[in-house]
Amino acid sequence: MPIEYLLNSLTILCGEKKEIYNFIAEKLFLEDKLWIVTLNALMYMEYIKGNEYSVALKEASFSIPDGVGIVKLLKKKGIETERCPGYDTMEFLLRLSTKQNYKVYLLGSTEEAVKKASENIVNKFGTAIVGYHHGYFDWNMESEIVEDINNKKADLVFVGMGIPKQEIFIKRNIESINAKLLMGVGGSFDVLAGEVKRAPQFYQKLGLEWLYRMIKEPRRIKKIPDLVKFYLRMFQNKD
């Protein structure tokens, strides 16, 4: 059974990966609505700024340890946990959806990528994708998207618009969306669409998927200062 650890007012589910996923499956069956955050170091650094994003993360049902940085921070506090990468978590939920006949809606990325991701999910998992929408919309269109999600009777809604947009969208609309689960999934749609390759197993096992992404997408190098700040903060015991 996983434990819930409070890190700087954020509830994080900790334990073995299998235990965490079983816990999520049970919660989905028993509760009306879940909002899961897949927490990594960059998300945490955005969280501590004390802005709208910070408020959003606090309102989630719980976070799970996505990044190796979060795992190390928890270990420093005496909490042992396995990583639950966001992509793996999404795949687990897609397989669960097929078994439990949950309907899925995808929101995010480009129109072409989210459409291709939808097709590939159906082919790979047999999941019922009831709808999708790209993530490049004006905020005044939110009500239309929420209406579409509800009309399609989606049970699980995956939002892939990156941080902070995806969590802020969920915060603003979670009360209006009639789904069992909402979760931000970053760039997972691009991977599922085949437009971006996931890091090889070597990088995954070492918790260095972020390094692989930076090698492949040099524009991500600008995030290095935040990663440095995260580790400095951790070693200085500021959390």
- What's the chain's average pLDDT? 92
Q: What is the pLDDT confidence band of residue 110, given thresholds at 50, 70 and 90?
A: very high
pLDDT of residue 232: 87
Please give the radius of gyration of the chain, using alpha carbons only, rounded to the nearest integer.
17
Model pTM score: 0.92
pLDDT tens-digit readout, 146-175? 999 999 999 999 999 999 999 999 999 999
pLDDT tens-digit readout, 19-55? 999 999 999 988 779 999 999 999 999 999 999 999 9
Q: Give me the torsion for CA of 214, 188, 208, 41, rounded to 10°.
A: 90
CB neighbours of residue 71 within 10 Å = 21
pLDDT tens-digit readout, 168-215? 999 999 999 999 999 999 999 999 999 877 667 766 666 667 666 666
Domain boundaries, the chain: 3-235
